[in-house]
Each structure stands twice: as structure tokens, then as C-alpha cells.
Structure 1
Amino acid sequence: MIKNHLQALLTQNLQFSPTSCQIRLIEGLADYISSDRPDEIMLIKGYAGTGKTTMINALAQALNLLKIRTVLMAPTGRAAKVIAGYTGKSAFTIHKKIYRQKSSADGMGNFVLDKNLYKNTYFIVDESSMISDQPGDSSVFGSGRLLDDLLEYVYSGENCRLVLVGDTAQLPPVGVNISPALDALQLENYGFSVKEYELTEVVRQESDSGVLFNATKMRRLIAADEQAPGFLEIKLESFSDIDRIGGGELIEKIGTCYDKYGFFETTVVTRSNKRANLYNKGIRGSILYKENEIEQGDLLMIVKNNYFWAGEGAELDFIANGDIAEIEKIYSYEELYGFRFANVNLRFVDYENVELDCKIFLETLAIETASFSQERNRELFEAVSEDYPDIRNKRERWKKIKENPYFNALQVKYAYALTCHKAQGGQWKAVFVDHGYLVEDMLDKEYYRWLYTAFTRPTEKLFLVNFNKNFFESAGTEL
């Protein structure tokens, strides 16, 4: 009886007849909610256009009607903004919700796993393909392994449960071959039982989308066993949401999209930092007519986590690698320690009412690596440490260096063009994709994961820039 009521609630929040995959998922969700089995995870996998978003919204609304609390989360600020937009509920980054900063009295600024004080709560996490189980840039957070900490946090709460949602065809976290949070076997290795459902049917409302038509072909290729698939045929005819353009049209088309959608809703996705730099330089000079290295209104992306400028209790506990900000004011420029800095006010566009005065490095704007090299970081450390020759104790000197605002300047790049890993989890109305140098030998599953992830960023219009002609000839792989 309860299950039937739950199924009715889940179905009533859909705006169309569910697909057979969605019907199975609705039955599974009703069973999950009505059961009291501990240590069980609901895993919802789904490709682009299969109604994942709709099902998350239906679940959140149904739980709300049942007076069951939900917490919506995503790995990045931009992804959290997307889930908040389609559910009409507040959403948080995983880091914001599960960690708290230790008292900075030790000068280290580490974040520890917070206590889960929620009871009878469902934690729904979107874009779970981005969640890593490897230590990396997040090593100051808890165990350093985000997936481990997420599971520990949720299931330490009284009768709390976890719903992981994501797309296995997208890029996995940097440094791993699969997305561990979407792999039932990996989750079971933590001691959980997993209810797993996969949405594979594109909903009828999306069937006239060229983006989803071609993305569906790509994910079939990714799921197949073929290791060297060659060129997949991309179909353009009869679709209005996808265009192929050459370099000669590029500036005009990007300018048109800025006029139509605004530059917050337009982006370029590339395969390398070097290519993104070229686009950023061209866009600033030829479309936005910016002559100075930075100007008011410039869009910047933070390229390394920063724990210095965001205050405790603020909307931002820390500034994350991948966060996008607009320059509101430029106060001054400085040169010190062999580095150039600007003092600016930044507005973080994916968060509400977050503006911070901070110091930024100017050199990172044009470097071809993702952020400063180890060597450059060491040079900065050594230069700053020379300011404290009277402090003999290494720990005390390290504490002073960590409190130095120049040492903590934000590493930033322009944010008009991004690599695909940086764009992942975000959505823009118009997206330009440039695959750069490409020959057939480079076409493997990892390439098609990159292309699939890039293809599924736009909500309205996709432009394929200088794409290899073999993608559009009938000799291409047809799936």
C-alpha cells in the first residue's frame, strides 16, 4: 500500500508519460523509501536526455510531500547551481556540507569531517561521476578521499540515506579510469548494499535534439568493446541545435552568442590549457576589445584551491579549483618576490551574493599548465620565507608563510574558454567545442568520453569548431 502511494507521488511530479526505464526506477525508489534497510545506497545512472534531472526533481518533490527532509549536493559550485535551478531547492557543494574548518590556531587551515546532525534525511548527489576516491588537490579535506568521506558523513547520521546520480559516459575524475561513485562493486567494497538503476531511453521530448541524437551514438560507442572505433559519423541535418563552423565564422558567432545569451551563458570547451589560452586571448582582444591584462568585468577561473581569502561562516568556506568569478574592481598592482599581483574585488558567479577582496597572481593568466609548476611554487615559498629570517623554528616559520597574503594569492586564468574537465558539471546556453589537433590514431574511448562530456554542456546551442571532416562523411562509424 505504501509502495503504491509512493509510486503515485513520484509519477504525479512527472510532466509526461514515463519511459519503461523510468517506471522501473520509480518502482525501485518506492521500494527504497518504504524499506528500512540500513547501509543501502540508491545508485541512479543515466545518459544525457534520459530524464535523470526530471527523476531527481520528482524524488525531491515526493519526499517533500511526505515531510521527509532532503539535502541536494553536487561536486562543484556550478553543478550545485544547476541542480538548484531545476528543483527550486537550495543545493550545496559536497565540501560545503560535509566538512568544517578546524580552528586556524595551528595555522594549517585543514578541514575535518563534520558531524552529521541530520535525522531521517535523504542526501541526493548529482554529477557523481566527478567524485574521486583518490587523494589529490583535496588532501586538506578529511581523509583526502571525497567518496570515503561522503559515505562516512551520510551514514553516521541517524537513519540517513544516500542517492548517487550521474552519467557513466562522462569523464571520470582526473587520474582514474572509471567513476568510483557510479560503480556498484566499488560501493559494495565499502560494506554497503546497492540498489542500481540505469536510464537508457531518451525521453520523447528530447528526440528532436541533434545534441542528444549524437551524444546517444557516442555513449553507445563508449559502452561497446571496440578499442579503436575511428571516426563516428556526426549527423547535423534537420537539427537546429547543432552547427558546424569554420575558423572564419568563429569571432562573429561567439559575438552573436554573447549578444543573445550573455557571456555568462556562453563558453568554449577545448582539449588543452594551451588551446584555451589562445581562445581567451582572441575573445578578449577581438570580441570584448579588452586591451589591458585584466579589466573590470573580466571573467576569471580559479585554478587551484585556496583557503585564505574566504572567511569562516561565509557562503564560501574556501575558493575551489574551477570556481568562476567576475572582476568587480581593480584596486592596485604590485610586484614582489619575483611575481606580479593585482588587488581586486571578485564576485563569484555561481554563488549568491559572494564578493571578496583578494590578491591574484597575474602570471597564471597565460601559463600553459593548469596552474603553477612545483618549481614555481617552490620559488615563491623560498622567496617569502626570506622575510622571516629571525624565526628559527621551522613550524613557526611555516605558519607565518601560510599567513602571508602574497603566498596565498589566487591562481587564476581567463574563463571565456575552458578545458572539458573544468566545464564538467556546468551548463551554458551556447557552447563552442574545439577538438584541436586530431588524427584517427587518437580516437579511443577516452577521446569519445571527452567529446560526449563536451557535447552535453549546452542547453540550447552547440557549435562544432573546425571539426575534422571525417566526422561528417558517411565513412564514419555508424551506431
Structure 2
Amino acid sequence: MVIELNEEQDAALRTIRSFLRDDALDAFILRGSAGTGKTTLIAALTAVLEEMELSFSLLAPTGRAARILGNKVRLIRGTVEGKGSTIHSRIFKPPKVEVNEEAESANDPGVRLVFPLSSEEAMEALFVIDEASMVGDRETPGDYVQFGSGRLLQDLVTYARIRRPGRGNDHRTKLLFVGDPAQLPPVGEDTSPALSEEYLQTKFGLRIATAELNSVVRQAAGSAILARATEIRDALRAKRFNTFTLKPFDAEVEKVDPERALDLIVESLRAKESTVAVVFSNAMALDYNRAVRDRLWGDADLPIQVGDTLLVNRNSRPYQLSNGDLVKVLSVRAECESVLVPMKGIAPVELRFREAEVAFRDVDGTVIRRECLLLENLLASPMRDISPAEQRALLVHFRMRYPQLKPHMPAFRLNIADDGYFNALQVKYGYAMTCHKAQGGEWHSGIVHFSLPGDGRNSSSFRWAYTAITRAVKRLVVVNPPDFTDDSDMKWNIPSIRTELDERKDFTADPDWNRLSFSSQLAALMTVHQQLRGAWQEQGITIEQLQHLQYCERYSLQREGKRAVVQYWYDGKFRVGRSGTAPGAFHDATLADEALAAFQRLSGGPNARQPEPFIQEFLSRLDAAMTGASIQRTGHEVMRNRLRVTFADATRRGAVDFIHNDASTWTAAQEVGGPGSSRGLYEEVQGLMAMAKA
């Protein structure tokens, strides 16, 4: 089957071909946002690798992501071959069991499974690692499970570079990291190290090639979900977190309240559509799961029912199920086996087991069934995992049933590795889950409940939102979505600039307040002075003297022994006007020109720089709000953290200062000259802007 690629994908594939042939390169980073065809490109690459007779493995950090990758590649290529595996299963040996017989603390699980890094040389020419944004390099020593060094990325790189003794010239396995840098980074990290060229080079000395997919592929070009996701991704790239909206709402992107969200989950389940609710915390996931079960069965506290959806919460080797897998209950034993386990140093712990048959459907439609023993302790728990005390109780329970086995005996390790109770499938209900748990999966319908801490104006919130909404393929339902612009919190009707500046006390701490003879009457000019001083300092220009003349500020400047005298004028309301050189004074022409150019840039004069994009966008919104009105914008002046805009109609003129912070968010609007100075223009502008948002 021929895979059709767009121009961008084809160019990336050619770059990867060159990388495969270049022995000087170790790793390749393929970045791409949602909908840009990363998986299609991987499928095309597997055909190229077979053509080049190069062996490879398709890997992912979770079992669900690995299964989705393998099945998608098979479907795209139209073959029956192709399988995704977890990174862990490929590079780590079977576990060693470490038992702490002296454990007494409630925080000590008493047992650890340690998975050593394999020492066998990798035979593949290439590891393709999908969902690489989830591959972390922060040490995460587990209380119960420990993989290698605890740093997955380091272990992966180490394993790929292993060479057999005495074979120093062997070709090492190359790495191809594929992922979306806008998604949530690994837990506990601020960025995704596997998608950072600088990190891989600095930390591991790898030589890197890269490519990026930016164009949404033809099949997804009309997707409203991807359009919203792209807006969030662009904000992350620009590091601007002052605007967020999921509007307009339509058939593909819908806003509902929590009650309707619960109804939609139940309706989707009965229609046999894949659906999930993505929430911020495990506690909220528990609330959602209980509410859904109340609607399904009439009582949230009923035991597991036939038809319930369960979320696997820990990898299970005996049942070949992975953390994050969703399974459907086909049959379940009515009786729960409850065991009260006596514990050393703490109160007895209850363990609850139940026999069941579960099933899940692969992407290719195959139904896979598993008979298993479930551990129910997490079903009503708001915690992410079972507690260390419960984990130790599993060990104590095993020891009670096999008193003849001691931890140092080979038979102990053999039996505990296959014991049904010790390895009982740990599950939660699977109607809702956290965003980290959902990462790497996708559903026909995704319900995203926003309950993020803070005001949402930060990169963490934007990454969470991006990752959450891109779990939905066809339909996105949102609850309590943020909706703000850079001027949403702008306050009107606050004191004018003159009053505000007169009342500021911190100007006296400025070294130029006394040196250059400023006074309370001239406090309104201190802000202008600070801006000029900063601009001139960048040019190496220093201020020797300042004369406060009538409606004129005259500066004597020097740089490298050369001097100039420049000045600007202001009116009775301290509004800055024209500028120029002082008449009759000696000037170095170059110094004078550069000093005045800096002033003009600050004041929005003829040589002014273009305003920053967020200011341009604000001015465009302002103009749009006044379309059809008698008021028009007649000019603007860019100042530090302030945009002064002049307005006029047939009989009135006035100015408004729009104030912003360093995060490019508009915080206030002030009527220049004090209340009433614009003869009602200020209030009319406020009303027009409010109507435009309605």
C-alpha cells in the first residue's frame, strides 16, 4: 500500500533517510503538533527501513501508547505485521525482588521490584520512540518498582549505545524521538528532555538532526478541535499566556455543565462510543466515576458490575496489561474476598479481591479477554496508587500463605512473580482520569473539565489544556473552560495619570530625584525621565544635567567626551509633545541625533519602532469596536507599560491610557487629565469595547 505524504512530511522523510545513512549522527528529533501526521510519517518510515534492510523497534513510554502506535502503523500500511512495545519491556531485564523484613513504617512497602538495565547489545539499527514528550530524565526512585537508574531517558540512551566487548567498531542503535513539545512534560519536569536538541547534546553528547511538522494534514484540516489546539500551541511557542478561548462552540466543540457532561458519558457508553472525561486531579476523577456509576447502576456504591469500565493502574506482567489500559468487565464474581492482614508496627490492613473476566478491543478490532483477580482497594480511593502499607500487606499476605519460603530462596522469587494475589490487577473505574493518565491515548469523544489552580495564565495551564483537548478525535465537550483575553481584567474608572503619579512615594528613592532636582510638582515627568535614561544608557549616553524650564525639560548629555543638549516640551496636563535640540548650544551632531531618535522611539514619533504584536492586536480590536461609531482613534503613543490612545469626534478630543504589565496583559484604563477631561469620550470608548466583547 502506497502511503501518500504531503510536501512537509516528504521533506522530513528525506531528512530521516539522510540521518540513517550518516554514521556521524546519533539521534533524530521529529517534532509535530496534533494533526500534523507524525504517525503517518512513522508508517512510511517503516516501509523505508524495510527497503533499506534496516531492523527497527517501535517503542513508546506506556503500554497504551505502544499498542496504539503499532496498530495505527498496521492500519496505515495495510499489513498484519508491526507491533509497538514499551520502552521498559525492551531495555530492562526481569525484576529482582528485594524484601525488607524489618519494615514497620506505614510508608515502607516492605518489598521492591528492581528491573535492571539489560546488558545485551541492541541488534536493531533504529529505535523509534513515539510520545517522546512523556520520556523523562528526572530520577524517580520508586518505593515499590525501580527501573534501572530511575531516569528513563538516560537508561534508553545508555542501552542504545552498548557495544559488545571487543567489538568497538560496531554500529550503535540510532534513536528517533517523535513527539509534540506542546504536550505535558513528564511528571516533575518543566520541559520534555527527549524533544530538546540542546539537552540531548549537552547531557549525553549525542549528535542530533531534527525536523518539524507544522501543517495540519488534509484529513484533519477542517477540525475545530485541532484549530483550538493550534491556537494554544502557538501561544505556548510565543510564551504569551494572556488569551485563551475555546469559542466558537458548535457541534464539534461544545460547552456544557457538569450534569450534562455526566449524561453525555452515559449516552456515549450506551452507544458504544469511546469516551473519557479528563480532569485535573485523582479526587475529581473519583467524583466523576462515582457520578457516572450512579447513573448507570442507580447506586455508586454497588460492587463492580458486568459492563463496568476499569482503568488499569499498574503494569501487570501476568495479565499482559499496562498502566493506563481500559478494560470492560464481561463477568464478575458476586462475592468479594476480604482479607484483614496483621501488620508489624501499624494497624491491620484490609485487602479486597474479586475474580472477574475483562476484555479490551485492539485498534484493529480484535477482542482480547483476560480472566484475572482484581484488587479493589483503589476503587473508592482519591489517591493515585495504593498506599505503601497496602503494598506491604500484599507481601505479608503472600508470606502468610507460603510460610516455608524465605526471601533469599529462588523458590520465593519464582512464586511471588506469578502469585495471583500479590499480582492482582490494580484498577480504578475508567470513566474519568487525570490528564497525565490520559496522555498517549485518544477517544472518539473527550470531555474536559477545567478546574486548574490559579488564573490559568501560565505555561503549565496551557500545556494541560492542549494535552487534554487533543485526546478527543471527533467531539470535544468542555466544562468550565477558561475564557479570557489580554484585556479581560482591565479596570476602568481609576484615578487619572496625574493623580496617580503625584501620589507615588517611591520616586524619591530614585537617585536622580535629588540629583536632578525633581519635586512633587514635577513627579508626573519622572516616568518619562526614567524611560529616557534607560534608553540612553543602552546607547552609552549619560545625563550630566537637567534643567526644568517652563513646560520644557532640557537635558545635557555626554558620551565619550562628546556633548549635546536636547529637550522636549509638555503641556499643562503633563502631556509630552515635540522634541529637539536646544537653541544656541554646542552639539555633537551624531550624539544629538541618536539621543533624539531614542526619545522618538519611546514617544511613538516619526522614527518609532513598530509596537509589539499584542499592542497591534489591541489597537485592531479597538478599531473594530469603534466601527460605525462617531468616535475614531486619531493616534497612539507607546510608553513603558502604557499605551496612550487619542480619540475624537466632530466636537470632542481626549486621550485614554491603557496600562499593561510585563506579561502583556492589560490591567487598567485611565482618562488622561483626570475624570471628565475627555467630555464623555472615555465612557463611550469603554461602552463600545464592552459591546464588542458581548
What TM-score, normalized to structure 2? 0.58
Q: Verify the 8 A CA contact 2:357 2:371 in the aligned structure 1.
A: yes
Partners in 1 of 2:112 and 2:426 — Cα distance?
19
Partners in 1 of 2:312 and 2:5 — Cα distance?
40
Once the two structures are TM-superposed, the CA of residue 304 in structure 1 deviates from its matched residue by 3.3
Residue 428 of structure 2 corresponds to 413
Residue 71 of structure 2 corresponds to 85
Kindly indicate whether residue 174 of structure 2 is the aligned counterpart of residue 161 of structure 1.
yes
Partners in 2 of 1:438 and 1:348 — Cα distance?
35
Once the two structures are TM-superposed, the CA of residue 236 in structure 1 deviates from its matched residue by 2.2
Secondary structure, aligned partner of 2:93: strand
Larger relative contact order (Cα-Cα within 8 Å, sequence gap ≥ 6): 1
Q: 2:155 aligns with which of 141, 149, 174?
A: 149
Partners in 2 of 1:398 and 1:436 — Cα distance?
50
Kindly indicate whether residue 49 of structure 2 is the aligned counterpart of residue 49 of structure 1.
no
Residue 428 of structure 1 corresponds to 443
Partners in 1 of 2:457 and 2:15 — Cα distance?
37
Amino acid of the structure 2 residue aligned with 1:324: L
Partners in 1 of 2:478 and 2:284 — Cα distance?
15
Secondary structure, aligned partner of 2:31: strand
Kindly indicate whether residue 205 of structure 2 is the aligned counterpart of residue 191 of structure 1.
yes
Once the two structures are TM-superposed, the CA of residue 199 in structure 1 deviates from its matched residue by 2.2
Residue 314 of structure 2 corresponds to 304
Residue 17 of structure 1 corresponds to 6
Residue 466 of structure 1 corresponds to 480
Kindly indicate whether residue 220 of structure 2 is the aligned counterpart of residue 210 of structure 1.
no
Q: 1:112 aligns with which of 104, 113, 116?
A: 116
Secondary structure, aligned partner of 2:336: strand
Once the two structures are TM-superposed, the CA of residue 464 in structure 1 deviates from its matched residue by 0.9
Partners in 1 of 2:378 and 2:97 — Cα distance?
28
Q: 1:182 aligns with which of 195, 201, 206?
A: 195
Q: Verify the 8 A CA contact 2:242 2:486 in the aligned structure 1.
A: no
Kindly indicate whether residue 345 of structure 2 is the aligned counterpart of residue 333 of structure 1.
no
Q: 2:50 aligns with which of 44, 53, 64?
A: 64
Amino acid of the structure 1 residue aligned with 2:27: I
Q: CA 1:333–1:210 in 2, change beyond 3 Å: closer, same or farther?
A: same
Q: Verify the 8 A CA contact 1:326 1:349 in the aligned structure 2.
A: no
Amino acid of the structure 2 residue aligned with 1:166: G
Residue 460 of structure 2 corresponds to 446
Partners in 2 of 1:44 and 1:266 — Cα distance?
29
Partners in 2 of 1:454 and 1:472 — Cα distance?
21
Q: Verify the 8 A CA contact 2:266 2:295 in the aligned structure 1.
A: no
Q: For this pair of structures, how many residues does the alignment match?
A: 449
Q: Verify the 8 A CA contact 1:234 1:471 in the aligned structure 2.
A: no
Residue 172 of structure 1 corresponds to 185
Secondary structure, aligned partner of 2:437: helix
Partners in 2 of 1:300 and 1:190 — Cα distance?
40
Partners in 2 of 1:343 and 1:240 — Cα distance?
41
Q: Verify the 8 A CA contact 1:268 1:434 in the aligned structure 2.
A: yes
Unaligned runs of 5+ in 1: 1-11, 311-315
Secondary structure, aligned partner of 2:337: strand
Partners in 2 of 1:417 and 1:110 — Cα distance?
31
Partners in 2 of 1:293 and 1:253 — Cα distance?
23
Residue 249 of structure 1 corresponds to 260
Partners in 2 of 1:41 and 1:153 — Cα distance?
13
Secondary structure, aligned partner of 2:126: strand
The more displaced of 443-452 and 80-89 is 80-89
Q: CA 1:394–1:17 in 2, change beyond 3 Å: closer, same or farther?
A: closer
Amino acid of the structure 2 residue aligned with 1:241: E
Once the two structures are TM-superposed, the CA of residue 453 in structure 1 deviates from its matched residue by 0.3
Partners in 1 of 2:176 and 2:462 — Cα distance?
27
Once the two structures are TM-superposed, the CA of residue 271 in structure 1 deviates from its matched residue by 0.6
Q: CA 1:328–1:112 in 2, change beyond 3 Å: closer, same or farther?
A: farther
Residue 276 of structure 2 corresponds to 267
Unaligned runs of 5+ in 2: 75-81, 100-110, 164-169, 341-349, 490-613, 619-694
Residue 8 of structure 1 corresponds to none
Residue 130 of structure 1 corresponds to 134
Q: CA 1:254–1:474 in 2, change beyond 3 Å: closer, same or farther?
A: farther
Q: Which has the larger radius of gyration?
A: 2
Once the two structures are TM-superposed, the CA of residue 298 in structure 1 deviates from its matched residue by 1.9
Secondary structure, aligned partner of 1:101: coil
Q: Percent identity?
A: 31
Q: CA 1:114–1:269 in 2, change beyond 3 Å: closer, same or farther?
A: same
Once the two structures are TM-superposed, the CA of residue 197 in structure 1 deviates from its matched residue by 2.0
